Amino acid sequence: MARVWRGMAGMVAGIFFVCAGSAAGQAAGAMAVGACAAYGYAFDYGNVRAARAAAAGKCTGAQCKVVVTLSHSCAAFAIDGRSPCGPQGYASAPGLGEAENTALESCHKFGGRDCVIRAFACDRKG
C-alpha cells in the first residue's frame, strides 16, 4: 500500500512541475488605448510581440495604439466618467493597486474630474 501512495505522490509531483513550467513561460501582456475610451488588453501570452498584437486587435475604437507592455506586472486605463472622449490616463506597475492609482492620477492630471478605471490587466506574475 505504501508503494501505491509513493507512486501516486510521484505522479502528482510530476504533473505539478509540468504545469508550473508551462505557466512560467506565459508572462507577457500589453494594453492598447484609443479615442473615446476604446481599449484592448492581452495577458499571459508567451511573448511581448504576440501580446501587443492581441491587445491592438482587441481595441475596437479609433486611433488605437499599444501604450503599455507587461512583464510580471499590471496595467490600468482610466477615463473621465462624465466625458469618455475626454481626459484619460494609463499606467503600469508591479501591482494592480499601484497601476490603478497612477492611471487615475494621470487622468486627473490631464483634466479629468470624475476619473474611473475603465480596464485593467495583470500578467501571471503581476
Mean pLDDT to the nearest integer, 50-65: 95
User: What pLDDT score was predicted for residue 61?
Assistant: 86
Query: 119: closest CA among 71, 72, 61?
Result: 61
Helix (H) / strand (E) containing 75: strand 74-80
Between 124 and 2, residue with greater pLDDT: 124
Strands 115-122 and 65-70, bridge-based pairing: unpaired
User: What pLDDT score was predicted for residue 104?
Assistant: 98
Q: What is the mean pLDDT of the chain?
A: 83
| The residue to which cell 499601484 is assigned | 98
Between 20 and 74, residue with greater pLDDT: 74
Helix (H) / strand (E) containing 93: strand 88-93
Question: Angle at CA 15, nearest 5°, toward 12 and 21?
Answer: 140
Give yes or no for a contact between 55 and 34, defined as CB atoms under 8 angstroms apart.
no
Between 112 and 20, residue with greater pLDDT: 112
Is the whole model's pTM more than 0.85, yes or no? no
Q: Which residues of 67-103 are buried (b: 16+ CB within 10 A; e: fewer)?
A: bbbbeebbbbbbbbbeeeebbbbbbbbeebeebbbbb
Give yes or no for a contact between 94 and 101, defined as CB atoms under 8 angstroms apart.
no
